A and B are shown apart, each in its own frame.
Chain A
Amino acid sequence: KQEVTQIPAALSVPEGENLVLNCSFTDSAIYNLQWFRQDPGKGLTSLLLIQSSQREQTSGRLNASLDKSSGRSTLYIAASQPGDSATYLCAVTSGTYKYIFGTGTRLKVLA
């Protein structure tokens, strides 16, 4: 049974710091892995999608990597800003309808 873990559950960093968020999964037979951002009281916004054949994806200051063999993905945020404060969730799917979500990392970037 696939399980997705995100550690730490919460993180506070000063503005300008580069940071890494972690997502671990137990079954390497995934179709894709997706990172989301969720602001308080809002829905999930898709940040990056990594297909199983890819090693990384980049969008602006965000870079997500995928290592299926070790069951890990990292979301790297460069030069963090207070506006990056949100909860970040990852989700994996094996290609069927089912998506398994982590419980998220709550990030606070301090000005």
Chain B
Amino acid sequence: NAGVTQTPKFQVLKTGQSMTLQCAQDMNHNSMYWYRQDPGMGLRLIYYSASEGTTDKGEVPNGYNVSRLNKREFSLRLESAAPSQTSVYFCASRRYGTGELFFGEGSRLTVL
């Protein structure tokens, strides 16, 4: 029962470094999401992918890029990390029809 798998679980970066967060789902879902969760601000959508080959910006896309590599995988890239990007990042996928969301365990990123 893998569901949505995220790597890495923890990462510490220095300001200006780059990295990619990986996400994969094995539920054959078309839609996938990247959120960030910050204390007092709830979950905010960074990017969304309705299907393989398509991506759209969410509410907080600045400083991030995404790639929908295939139906299973949706990656999030920080090109030049900033301390404001210290957060917990969650990947999710959506079941067609019911619209039920399934989340990964999260990636905890600290930018020094």
Give chain A's interface residues, CB within 8 Å of chain B.
31-32, 34, 36, 41-46, 49, 51, 89, 91, 93, 95, 97-99, 101-104
Kindly provide the distance from the CB of B92 to the nearest chain A CB, expressed in whole angstroms.
8
A contact patch SS: strand
Please name all residues of chain B whose beta carbon is closer than 8 Å to the beta carbon of A41 when the two chains form the complex: 106, 108
Which of B31, B98, B99, B103 contacts A43, CB < 8 Å? B103
Asked, given contacts A43-B105, A97-B31, whether A31 binds B99 with beta carbons under 8 Å apart, the answer is yes
Kindly provide the distance from the CB of A104 to the nearest chain B CB, expressed in whole angstroms.
8
Please name all residues of chain B whose beta carbon is closer than 8 Å to the beta carbon of A31 when the two chains form the complex: 99
Q: Are A101 and B100 in contact (CB under 8 A)?
A: no
Give chain B's interface residues, CB within 8 Å of chain A.
4, 31, 33, 40-43, 45, 48, 50, 56, 90, 92, 94, 98-106, 108
A46 to B1, CA, bound (A): 14
Asked, given contacts A43-B90, A44-B90, whether A99 binds B101 with beta carbons under 8 Å apart, the answer is yes
Q: Are A49 and B98 in contact (CB under 8 A)?
A: yes
A45 to B94, CA, bound (A): 13
Q: Are B105 and A42 in contact (CB under 8 A)?
A: yes
Asked, given contacts A97-B31, A97-B48, A97-B50, whether A46 binds B42 with beta carbons under 8 Å apart, the answer is no
Q: Are A46 and B102 in contact (CB under 8 A)?
A: yes
Please name all residues of chain B whose beta carbon is closer than 8 Å to the beta carbon of A34 when the two chains form the complex: 100-101
A102 to B4, CA, bound (A): 22
A98 to B48, CA, bound (A): 9
Kindly provide the distance from the CB of B86 to the nearest chain A CB, expressed in whole angstroms.
15
> Which A-chain residue is minimally distant from B90 (CB atoms)?
A43
> Which A-chain residue is minimally distant from B50 (CB atoms)?
A97
